[in-house]
Chains A and B, each alone.
Chain A
Amino acid sequence: MLINILITFLLITNIGAVASSRLTYCIKIVAAQGVVIGILPCLIYGEFALLPIVIAIFTITVKGVIFPLLLGWSLKTAQVAREVEPLVSYPFSIITAVLIFILSFWLGSRLSLPASFCGYLLVPVAFSTIMTGLFLIVSRVKALTQVLGYLIMENGIYAFGVALLREQPLLVELGVLLDMFVAVFVMGIAIFHISREFDHIDTHVLDNLSDRIPADIRPTEET
């Protein structure tokens, strides 16, 4: 029961991330997702054991505390305008999120899954989280929002992986988390540099490199 409540919460946060127009709010949503996803392994594992607790503590620290702090820091130092600036309108984004949600439930109902998955909404919600993350990456202008989309996508993959906990060794989980930690760290630094070079973190200024524009008229310095 508790598991299903948590999973539903995950679903609501997806819609919230798509619908919100403020970056700080988006970061908080991703942090909340990180905490929910951190608790999941303990509940799914059923019994009291060291392995899921270690993973849970680690996940909550990294995804729920460190990532939001890092992203908040880069938001502050880069002095970004606090709006999300979507490429598609908010109503359309919400409709897309709902469509993604329906699609993933249809997909989830057609899959044959091992016994450990059954009875949970986990798989469809995980799929919808992954696709929502992908949608955020392609539909938002700011580099920071793209990182948030990447994190939401990773959360979805992690939620799917949680159900496989018994088969996956601890080392792999830790490695995945470590990689993500470094990835977000490096991305945060990159955002800092982007804001310093271009005065803002909109990715549409990153279009100097392409094959179409001939060399003579290619703009070399853009502000």
Chain B
Amino acid sequence: MIFLLVLIPFISGIMAFFLRNNPACRGLIVATAAAHSGLTAAICFMNVKTSSNWLFLDELGALFLCITSILFLAAAVYSIAFFREGPHSEDDKKQTAPVSFNTKEAAFSGCLLLFLGSMTLVIISRHFGLLWVAMEATTLASAPLIYFHRNKRSLEATWKYLLICSVGIALALLGNLFLGVAVSLSGKGNIGLIISQLDLSGSETSIPWLKAAFLFIFVGYGTKMGLAPFHTWLPDAHSEAPSLVSALLSGALLNCAFLGILRAHQVCVASGIASFSRDIFLLFGLLSMAAAAIFIFGQHDYKRLLAYSSIEHMGIMALGIGLGQTAAFGALFHVFNHSMVKGFLFFTAGNILSVYHTKEVKNVKGLIRIAPVSGILWMLGILAITGTPPFGVFFSEFIIFRSAVEQGRNITAVIYLILLAAVFIGMFLVVPEMVQGKYPEDIKRPGKKENMFRILPCLVLCGFALWLGFCVPDWLQNILQQALIILENLK
């Protein structure tokens, strides 16, 4: 049953390459997304336990699977509007898109579906080697998506993404090999690199290798996750990709890389060196938040603004895991909240781009008069992502903060608050200007109604993010608690 989760996107992805009919491509994307989320819901609610040595789904994976599935469904609906409005709907004025659209739509749909399949494979793989293979596959499937606009800037972004992430992931492969050395030194026989079975405690010689393995995996997958100082590809890729791809990169792909690191962390916890791996998480978490806070100030491109915000939130998650205990629960909850909010923020950014045809903050004014729904969504989204109550993001950030204070780590807590405040200020230096203000004369209003397919996914995700602030549904609560037990080895 789990097998189907990967098989369906892969098969339909390959099919999409051969379709020459654009409506069929759109239909295929939506159908696959619906099938994927239906299957995910069925597996999560019916609690299907099928696991082999290669594939399995524990609650930790289920959390990430739900996020990916929900976000992809939203992106699939959004893609209808994106395709329908044609290739130039999201063009920047400065750039030209030279290549014809018809051939691109098939390839784009195919890569999008393969991207979904490889992300799902990352989430459900049980073997560290398979996890690595799937992780590299996500890079390769998403690189053509970033190059969608076929101009110099997107090419530059794609090249950076491809090279930096490939080198990073190669380092993670070395980390996996070190893990293999650690296992064979532990004298526990041939247990392989099976996630959730590795326990190297009590083996003096294998612990240094395990530490080295964790470091390499952390740096490798951390590159992909966008932790500072390995984040350099991220703002470029997020700003140059079409908005629905940016939403998937930020809301789903970064999470998958995070999951990869969490799997290595799981081994560290089981082997009794949790304090080592937590310190690494803590250090790079704070570093990422600080880097994001610095670069958000004076940012002139609103999609880059969101990209740096993603780096900040990856930092918050890493910090939460680094603090452990309740903060780890907060971090897992934060993964969910961040993906929902960042997903609809990038969709809304796409809406803004399709109206103004510029990514410059200073050229976007009077959004609320030109596109009222997008304007309100943009404001709400920025409020939510900066951690304003009553959105879910506020509560997960607050859980992490409270846990830091409870553990007596006051300095960490204070730095955390200062950085959050800095990001808040940095965002609100530019955003109100965009929403209010006098709109430029030469902007064409998009008619009385904005495209429903562009608005609907945003509204649904926004509503969901708001709902999570008021109550956490039982199934999510359950998954989060089980995931925490798995992660912190609390059996």
Q: Which residues of A contact B (CB under 8 A)?
A: 112-114, 116, 130, 134, 137, 143, 146, 150, 153-154, 157, 160-161, 164, 166-169, 171-172, 175-176, 178-179, 182-183, 186-187, 190, 193-194, 197-198, 203, 206-209, 211, 214-215, 220-222
Contacts and interface: CB of A to CB of B under 8 A. Distances in A.
B192 interface: yes
B136 interface: yes
Nearest to A222: B152
Contact of A143 (B94, B159, B181): B159
Contact of A186 (B143, B299, B362): B143
Contact of A179 (B136, B157, B160): B136
B177 to A, nearest CB: 5
B155 interface: yes
A193 B163 contact: no
Interface stretch (B233-241, B380-388, B405-413): B233-241
B interface: dominant SS: helix
Contact of B205 (A112, A154, A193): A112
Given A113-B181, A186-B140, A190-B155, A215 B362 contact: yes
B187 to A, nearest CB: 10
Contacts of B143: 186, 190
Contacts of B181: 113-114, 164
Given A167-B180, A179-B140, A206 B167 contact: no
B173 A176 contact: yes
Given A157-B170, A208-B156, A211-B295, A168 B304 contact: no
B155 A194 contact: yes
Given A112-B205, A164-B181, A157 B192 contact: no
B104 to A, nearest CB: 13
Contacts of B177: 157, 160-161, 164
A146 B180 contact: no
A206 B236 CA distance: 11
Nearest to A134: B167
B167 A164 contact: no
Contacts of B180: 161, 164, 167-168
Would you list the 9 A-B pairs with minimal beta carbon distance, nearest first?
Answer: A172-B129, A175-B133, A206-B156, A179-B136, A209-B236, A215-B300, A114-B184, A220-B94, A164-B180
Interface string B159-183: 1101100110010011001001101
A153 B170 contact: yes
Contact of A175 (B129, B139, B160): B129
Given A164-B184, A168-B129, 13 more contacts: A113-B181, A143-B159, A150-B166, A164-B180, A171-B130, A175-B130, A175-B133, A179-B133, A187-B166, A190-B158, A193-B155, A203-B159, A221-B152
Interface in B223-250: 235-236, 239-240
A215 B167 contact: no
Contacts of B205: 112
Nearest to B208: A112
A206 B240 CA distance: 13
Most B Cβ at <10 Å: residue of A130, A146, A175, A211: A211
B369 interface: no
Given A179-B133, A183-B136, A215-B360, A154 B170 contact: yes
A220 to B, nearest CB: 5
A141 B95 CA distance: 26
Given A190-B155, A211-B299, A167 B183 contact: yes
A interface: dominant SS: helix
A115 B166 CA distance: 31
A167 B240 CA distance: 42
17 contacts: A114-B181, A134-B167, A153-B167, A167-B193, A169-B129, A171-B130, A172-B127, A172-B133, A175-B132, A176-B129, A176-B132, A179-B140, A193-B147, A197-B151, A203-B159, A206-B160, A215-B301
B156 A209 contact: yes
Given A164-B180, A186-B140, A206 B299 contact: no
A32 B76 CA distance: 46
Contacts of B211: none
Given A137-B167, A197-B155, A206-B160, A179 B127 contact: no
B225 to A, nearest CB: 19
A182 B140 contact: yes
A114 B129 contact: no
B160 A150 contact: no
Contacts of B95: 220
B128 to A, nearest CB: 9
Given A172-B127, A186-B143, A215-B301, A167 B184 contact: yes
Contacts of A175: 129-130, 132-133
A40 to B, nearest CB: 14
Contacts of B476: none
B192 A169 contact: yes
B142 to A, nearest CB: 11
A161 B129 CA distance: 12
B299 to A, nearest CB: 7
A167 B190 contact: yes
Contacts of B170: 150, 153-154, 157
A170 to B, nearest CB: 10
A114 B150 CA distance: 50
Contacts of A157: 170, 173-174, 177
A221 to B, nearest CB: 8
B153 interface: yes
Contacts of A214: 300
B129 A208 contact: no
B7 interface: no
B137 interface: yes
Given A172-B129, A183-B136, A114 B185 contact: yes
A194 B300 contact: no
A208 B152 contact: yes
